[in-house]
């Protein structure tokens, strides 16, 4: 498990960050769009290591070239907050 999972998470902060940085591609409810996968229903143990991998500049899948620049400046706290929000299905 990544270090972000050890951080306390703030779903409200994750919601704000998601709306600002993720919704344009993954959709406002995380259901995905034509070229971007659904995040809905994914748990923190799925989201956290992927965001950490992108933040480190490592390729994960075909859209890595889009995700890496978006994740580069995320802190551990940002990742924990995003993962908590996404895992909660944005509710």
Rounded Cα distance, 28 and 7, in Å: 25
Cβ neighbours of residue 72 closer than 8 Å, sequence gap 6 or more: 54, 55, 57
CATH number for the domain that contains residue 80: 1.10.760.10
Per-residue pLDDT of the chain (91 residues; tens, 9 = 90+): 444 444 558 999 999 999 999 999 999 999 998 889 999 989 999 999 999 999 999 998 888 999 999 999 999 999 999 999 999 864 4
Count of domains forming the chain = 1
Give the pTM.
0.85
Q: Range of 69's domain?
A: 3-87
């Amino acid at each position: 498990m990544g270090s972000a999972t050890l951080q306390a998470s703030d779903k409200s902060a994750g919601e704000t960050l998601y709306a600002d940085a993720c919704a344009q591609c993954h959709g406002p409810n995380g259901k995905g769009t034509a070229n971007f996968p659904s995040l809905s229903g994914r748990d923190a143990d799925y989201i956290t290591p992927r965001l950490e991998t992108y933040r480190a500049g490592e390729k994960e899948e075909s859209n890595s070239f889009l995700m890496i620049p978006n994740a580069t400046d995320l802190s551990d706290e940002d990742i924990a907050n995003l993962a908590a929000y996404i895992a909660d299905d944005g509710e």
